[in-house]
Amino acid sequence: MTDQALQNAFLFRQPILDRKQELAGYHLSFHQGQQVADDDPADCGVGAPLCAAYSELGMHSALGKSCAFISVDAKFLQQQVIELLPPTNVVLELLLDGVPDPATLTRCRVLIERGYSLALSNYQGIDNRSRPLLPIVDFVKIDLAHTELSRLQDLAGSLRHLPLKLLAQGVDSHEQMERCRSAGFALFQGRYFAQAEIVSGRRLSASHSALIRLCNLVGRDVETAVIEDAFKHEPALTLNLLRIVNSVGRLGNRVGQPVTSLRHAIALLGRRQLQRWLSLLLLAPGHDSGDPTRSPLLQVAALRGRMMELLTEKGQPGERKMADLAFLTGILSMMPTALGLPIDEILEQIAVEREVGSALRRHDGLLGTILALLECFDNDDAACCDRLLSMLPGGFDRQTLNTGLSVALRWLNGSSE
């Protein structure tokens, strides 16, 4: 895989959630540009570019504890370079059209002995293709786009006696997720968690209203004593905020000591950071169980905010204020999903700069173009990404997005950049 090929491709990702609806990993896919010749001698199969991108972009450290599902066909499965991938963080997803031959089965067993996990894709029932693989794979993927929901129970039931996990691919709604969960699926691939019912005039919860008031106080740069007093009237929010700030190493630059008071948090993080975490807290789960930093919605928002910040810094070097506004724009872009309100109603309650409001309402200006670009990137829309990249100043290309994704993921997982 050549460097030019990497520059002419997008590294797309789809979140994979577990039964607790927490982020378990990503399915990585590679969309090559038309500039890459079909007979590129360096192309060793469908997994080759992903392997190269995984290494070149430092995705091992970027993904942290999250697992990466990487599709490999029979051709690439035989390549030795596949063993450069870390076995503890990668699941090799087998793309096999027909009955696996002896060489493929032998290679699978070798990789298993070396610590790799395997997944069988496009499962449609026990047949000559799946029968020799089911005893050795750890995951079975069922694509909802090619499977009637009425068949899920039967397909899952045929595997109930095997020690493997079922993964539903192409989950686009909460209804589909619940059907799959009831059928016994353990993992769910898709962006259904970001699909919310938007209802104009919806009544916000007391905690959301209090958080919005605090965001406005911090944004208006009032005295610290005023902010502290506001928190004293919201003890539950105080505890939740301190929990988020204490786990800042999972979502940003690691602090060196526990944060034990609001005054300490404000002094240590500064107003800009405090506004970031207040905004992120609006996206955290409403329940007290589980790790809020594993919330997929919060992770997507934080990742989008950081990528917007990085891309804005590239487009307008040295403009620190604009970069800060970019991060906030990325966070707020997920608020309609989190709160179930139209963005116009949210912006009536949260005071933001004109550039942020224009970007969120109409995709206007530099921030609006970058936001639209990242929305297309999240939806695996290569054509839309190409069009918007050409509109940005500063020499943006596909590799700019891929590198930004890797850097943002490392930041999100608390790794050094």
Q: Which of 91, 194, 187 is nearest to 142 (CA)?
A: 187
pLDDT of residue 243: 65
Q: What is the rounded average pLDDT for all residues in the chain?
A: 83
- Which of 166, 193, 220 is the C-terminal boundary of a domain? 193
According to DSSP, the β-strands at 165-169 and 187-189 are: parallel
Looking at the fold, whether 265 and 169 belong to one and the same domain comes out as no
Looking at the fold, whether 217 and 130 belong to one and the same domain comes out as no
**Phi (first) and psi of residue 16, to 5 degrees:** -120, 125
Residue 116 CB coordination number (10 Å) = 19
Looking at the fold, whether 144 and 271 belong to one and the same domain comes out as no
Asked if residue 288 has pLDDT above 80, the reply is no
Per DSSP, what are the bridge partners of residue 70?
28, 92
CA 310 to chain centroid: 16
Looking at the fold, whether 73 and 121 belong to one and the same domain comes out as yes
Looking at the fold, whether 157 and 250 belong to one and the same domain comes out as no
Calpha distance 28→176 (Å, rounded): 22
Q: Domain total for the chain? A: 2
Looking at the fold, whether 174 and 263 belong to one and the same domain comes out as no
- pTM, two decimal places: 0.82
Q: Summarize pLDDT for 183-228 with one digit per residue, the tens.
A: 999 999 998 888 767 777 777 777 788 888 888 888 877 888 888 7
Q: Summarize pLDDT for 218-259 with one digit per residue, the tens.
A: 887 788 888 878 877 777 767 666 665 665 544 444 445 666
Domain that holds residue 300: 196-417
Looking at the fold, whether 221 and 352 belong to one and the same domain comes out as yes
HSE-CB of 57 using CA atoms within 13 angstroms:
29
Q: What is the percent of the chain with per-residue pLDDT over 70, rounded to a whole number?
A: 81
Q: Summarize pLDDT for 291-308 with one digit per residue, the tens.
A: 555 678 888 898 999 999
Helices (H) and strands (E) in the chain, counts: 20, 8
Please report, as a single letter, which amino acid is at residue 86. Answer: P
pLDDT of residue 417: 45
- Which of 193, 216, 235 is the C-terminal boundary of a domain? 193
Q: Summarize pLDDT for 86-139 with one digit per residue, the tens.
A: 888 899 999 998 899 999 999 999 999 999 999 999 999 999 999 999 999 999
Residue 23 CB coordination number (10 Å) = 23
Looking at the fold, whether 242 and 174 belong to one and the same domain comes out as no
pLDDT of residue 33: 54
- Which of 161, 193, 225 is the C-terminal boundary of a domain? 193
Q: Summarize pLDDT for 5-63 with one digit per residue, the tens.
A: 556 778 888 999 999 988 899 998 877 754 443 444 344 455 666 776 676 667 766 67
Contacts of 18 (CB under 8 A, 6+ apart): 24, 186, 187, 188
Averaged pLDDT, 154-163: 90
pLDDT of residue 214: 84
Looking at the fold, whether 241 and 336 belong to one and the same domain comes out as yes
pLDDT of residue 125: 92
pLDDT of residue 29: 85
Calpha distance 102→119 (Å, rounded): 18
Looking at the fold, whether 369 and 275 belong to one and the same domain comes out as yes
Assign residue 254 the CATH number of its domain.
Answer: 1.10.3210
pLDDT of residue 61: 66
pLDDT of residue 176: 92
Looking at the fold, whether 331 and 232 belong to one and the same domain comes out as yes
Looking at the fold, whether 323 and 187 belong to one and the same domain comes out as no
Assign residue 158 the CATH number of its domain.
Answer: 3.20.20.450
Residue 359: pLDDT band with limits 50, 70, 90: very high
Record the tokens describing residue 347, joined without a space.
């912006």
Helix (H, G, I), strand (E, B) or coil at 202: coil
CA 399 to chain centroid: 18
